[in-house]
Structure 1
Amino acid sequence: MKNYDLITPEGTKDLLFGECIIRRKIEDTLKRIFTSRGYSEMITPGLEFFDVFNLNSRYFPQENLYKLTDSKGRLLVMRPDSTMPIARVVATRLREAVLPLKLCYNQTVYRTEPALKGRSDEIVQAGIELIGSQLKMADLEVISTAIDSLKAFGMEFSLEIGHIGVFKELVGKLEVSDSDKERIRKLIESKNFPALNDLLDSFGTTPVTAALKKLPALFGGVEVFDKAEELIPDENVKHILDEFREIYTDLTELCGSDTNITVDLGLVNKTDYYTGVIIKGYLQGHGEEVLSGGRYDKLISEFGYDIPAVGFAVNVNAIQKVIEKNGVYPAMPKTDAIVYAEKGCEVAAVKAANELREQGLIVENALFDDIETVREYAKEKKIAKVVVINGSSREDA
């Protein structure tokens, strides 16, 4: 007995008609933004060897991967991320390419999140990777492109910008286990102040634990930098904050004071992945980020090619949800005419339909035996013109 032949797997869905139009418009909008800045598209396989995502840093927990085996028994995964396969390609096929490389993509990733309801395990990501430059200009280009990507959908948006270096400097001074460091990171990321304070208190009262307690609250405007320097009197942290302040100041000048950019030193996601600036973008009406990225200068080195990189990915599914929630559905393409062939005139009808299409019209060939049924069909679908092909004649009915 078949139990699952009429439904889709959890975390997936069918897209119909208007939903497909929205999806393609989002993708086309982002691609135009990326290619106008000199980014070239690439596509990586949907299937990758497990080893690509099983590096020393373990960026993706094994339990979140869709796994299978090939004909030789080797372990494969369905691509859970686009950046790491691109890093693999850069370290192999593009190793001799002129730097910097400016790459963009639009492809699906697959992750399982069994604890989440209403989740998407099949996520379309569109994004860019700027590879081979450590300059501030590279950060500015990527972040300003992210802002333009959020602006493109005509909705209110906000961008959060952080720097993982501050957290790494602080937590590196604690003599605690890696698992404890990860617990601290998760509590800072979730801004769980009570649990964070309790955990840090168990390690004693020091300037480092005091600073880590305050880290989730260090968000806002330019004043955050002064507060952080006062709270964390450390030369390495000061150097990081000075560079970060420059980027923030340049962004506000570049994008204008009306652009909602927030500094958040509590952005500490993927500490083994990111090495510098981190960004998260939001659209009004959606609680989760629709865009995320940052600088990851050590990732490609794990594939044997030590070059810096910065980039971001847009969650196309999330933007589609916001558009659908707001009821902003694009108009469906409308058929302009339908061509009906009387018996023996099928070839002439197909030719007539093609001639009308060459004029830029959307034209259907009628798939009914009688003209009355064709007229009813045209009325139902609001097709204004019915063309009848009869022998060598042609008439509008």
Structure 2
Amino acid sequence: MKNYSKLTPEGVHDVLFDQCRAHREAQRRLTAIFARRGYREVITPGLEYYDVFSLQGAALPQQEMYKSTDSGGRLLVFRPDSTLPIARMAAARLQSRRRPIRLYYCQSVYRAYPELSGRSHEAPQMGVELLGAAGLRADLEVMAAAAEAMGAVGGDYRIELGHAGLFRHLVQRLELPPESREEIRATIETKNYGALGGLLDPLGDSPEAKALRRLPRLFGGEEALAEAESWRLDGGAAEALHYLRTLYTALGEMGLGRRLMVDLGLVQRNDYYTGVVFSGYVQGHGGPVLTGGRYDNLCGRFGPDMPAMGFAMDMDAAAALLEPGMFQERAAQVLVHGEPGFEPQAQRELMRRTAGGQVCEGSVWETLEEALEYARSEGLPTVVAVGRSVRTIEIADMGGRV
């Protein structure tokens, strides 16, 4: 039987040194943005009941969830999503609070993807949820926060806009079974034109089928919206397009015009989205760095209805974008060594120096000669030897001697 004691499971990895610093820096920058906008931090449990993620109309694929059981045999999952637990928490703990409720979080989600998919099974995320607010003002607030977050880590970024309502209203008109709707959604999301054609050919030349066939190709600027508007759709599909143009125009007036793209094939895999959906990309990074959207019906699955919108940033991606430009970490300049019998005094000397801002290491070596050899090999310029007196030894002054 193979021993896995030195390996990490599929889809997870260790984070080391500068990667850790880049993660902390990304978290610091986003925390400052969210807190300045009045958002308050929350943390949801890493373990939740399976029922939280299996509600009709908001369920996640069960095969993607890591499952366990508690001592009573109840089915648990490792948190696969942050929005659903926050909706649960709002219904259970925040009903008495004045709307809107502004929350932010920094926590990991866990998804079991197929082997060799290249996707991380443990994804650290940081995001916001604006609960209890609907309409253009609320959408502009969340989109502006997303743009600030992207700018804080990415520099040259773009945001792609779509509307979940457009796809939903088109497939409702076709009266398709749920499994067929999901197949069509998946092919549009992956822009698999051949498979999409195969699914839509049996539906004939209805306006809805023609529109669905064009959705993954409608990507670009205002011209993408103009083509969709030329279809002369009615009902909820027309309302979705009208609102998307209103939002697109307003974001342009905020100075984000050159950052915006329209992608009417943006049909998020999470079925709880009801309105505008968006993804953020950075030049040179393949996948989305940020995803989000409006989910007005989700909170009502756990309690009273409450419109909501939010987004989550992939913190692995954010850290990878920041790491190349990170300033060099201050290296230790002093090695504090305690002579035999003076170990406590050496630690007091080290504490005094670090309290004053020096970066120091403590010697774990038995002899001063070993400590000096270590300092030379690691590039520490100074050794402080603590015994009956405190001596400062400059390695450069010793020449080749140790």
Structure-1-length-normalised TM-score: 0.94
- Equivalent-residue separation in structure 2 for 1:364 and 1:335 (angstroms): 6
Q: Which residue of 2 aligns with 1:264?
A: 263
Q: Which residue of 2 aligns with 1:192?
A: 192
Aligned to 1:231, what secondary structure does the other structure show?
coil
* Contact map agreement 1:164 1:271 (CA 8 A) in 2: no
Sequence identity (%): 44
Query: Residues 359-374 of structure 1: matches in 2 within 5 Å?
Result: 359-374=356-371
Aligned to 1:278, what secondary structure does the other structure show?
strand
Q: Which sits farther off after the overlay, 362-371 or 38-47? A: 362-371
* Contact map agreement 2:130 2:308 (CA 8 A) in 1: yes
Aligned to 2:226, what secondary structure does the other structure show?
helix
Shift of 1:386: 1.3
Which of the residues 383, 389, 395 maps onto 2:391?
395
* Contact map agreement 1:59 1:270 (CA 8 A) in 2: no
Shift of 1:225: 2.5
Q: Does the alignment pair 1:176 with 2:176?
A: yes
Letter of the 2:264 partner, please give it. Answer: L
Cα-to-partner distance string for 1:103-123 (whole Å, 9 max, x where unaligned): 000011111102443331111
Q: Which residue of 1 aligns with 2:43?
A: 43
Cα-to-partner distance string for 1:152-195 (whole Å, 9 max, x where unaligned): 12442221011111112211111332222222222222222233
Q: Give structure 1 stretches of 5+ with no counterpart.
A: none
Which of the residues 313, 332, 336 maps onto 2:333?
336
- Equivalent-residue separation in structure 1 for 2:322 and 2:194 (angstroms): 37
Q: Give structure 2 stretches of 5+ with no counterpart.
A: 394-402
Aligned to 1:5, what secondary structure does the other structure show?
coil
Q: Which sits farther off after the overlay, 296-305 or 21-30? A: 21-30
Shift of 1:266: 1.1
* Contact map agreement 2:173 2:208 (CA 8 A) in 1: yes
* Contact map agreement 2:10 2:115 (CA 8 A) in 1: no
Query: Residues 203-352 of structure 1: matches in 2 within 5 Å?
Result: 203-257=203-257, 259-270=258-269, 272-323=271-322, 327-328=324-325, 330-352=327-349
* Contact map agreement 1:136 1:247 (CA 8 A) in 2: yes
- Equivalent-residue separation in structure 2 for 1:81 and 1:237 (angstroms): 28
Shift of 1:385: 2.0
Q: Which residue of 1 aligns with 2:61?
A: 61
Aligned to 2:336, what secondary structure does the other structure show?
strand
Cα-to-partner distance string for 1:245-280 (whole Å, 9 max, x where unaligned): 1211111121344x3210111111236210000010
Query: Residues 4-83 of structure 1: matches in 2 within 5 Å?
Result: 4-83=4-83
* Contact map agreement 2:154 2:322 (CA 8 A) in 1: no
* Contact map agreement 1:336 1:362 (CA 8 A) in 2: yes
Shift of 1:238: 2.9
Distance 1:58 1:300, change over 3 A: closer
Aligned to 2:165, what secondary structure does the other structure show?
helix
Distance 1:154 1:299, change over 3 A: closer
Aligned to 2:349, what secondary structure does the other structure show?
helix
* Contact map agreement 2:58 2:270 (CA 8 A) in 1: no
Cα-to-partner distance string for 1:339-384 (whole Å, 9 max, x where unaligned): 1111222222222111111211122221111112212222222222
Q: Which sits farther off after the overlay, 184-193 or 291-300? A: 184-193
- Equivalent-residue separation in structure 2 for 1:99 and 1:233 (angstroms): 35
- Equivalent-residue separation in structure 1 for 2:222 and 2:105 (angstroms): 33
- As a proportion of its length, which structure holds more helix? 2
Letter of the 2:168 partner, please give it. Answer: K
Distance 1:117 1:208, change over 3 A: closer
Aligned to 1:297, what secondary structure does the other structure show?
coil
Distance 1:17 1:161, change over 3 A: same
Q: Does the alignment pair 1:386 with 2:390?
A: no
- Equivalent-residue separation in structure 1 for 2:18 and 2:11 (angstroms): 20
Distance 1:241 1:90, change over 3 A: same
| Alignment RMSD | 1.8
- Equivalent-residue separation in structure 2 for 1:254 and 1:171 (angstroms): 33
* Contact map agreement 2:159 2:278 (CA 8 A) in 1: yes
Aligned to 2:373, what secondary structure does the other structure show?
helix
Query: Residues 71-220 of structure 1: matches in 2 within 5 Å?
Result: 71-220=71-220
Shift of 1:148: 1.2
- Equivalent-residue separation in structure 2 for 1:126 and 1:64 (angstroms): 21
- Equivalent-residue separation in structure 2 for 1:330 and 1:18 (angstroms): 10
Q: Which sits farther off after the overlay, 192-201 or 303-312? A: 192-201
Letter of the 1:298 partner, please give it. Answer: N
- Equivalent-residue separation in structure 2 for 1:79 and 1:195 (angstroms): 32
* Contact map agreement 2:58 2:298 (CA 8 A) in 1: no
Structure-2-length-normalised TM-score: 0.93
Shift of 1:143: 0.9
Shift of 1:323: 4.8
* Contact map agreement 1:49 1:75 (CA 8 A) in 2: yes
* Contact map agreement 2:165 2:236 (CA 8 A) in 1: no
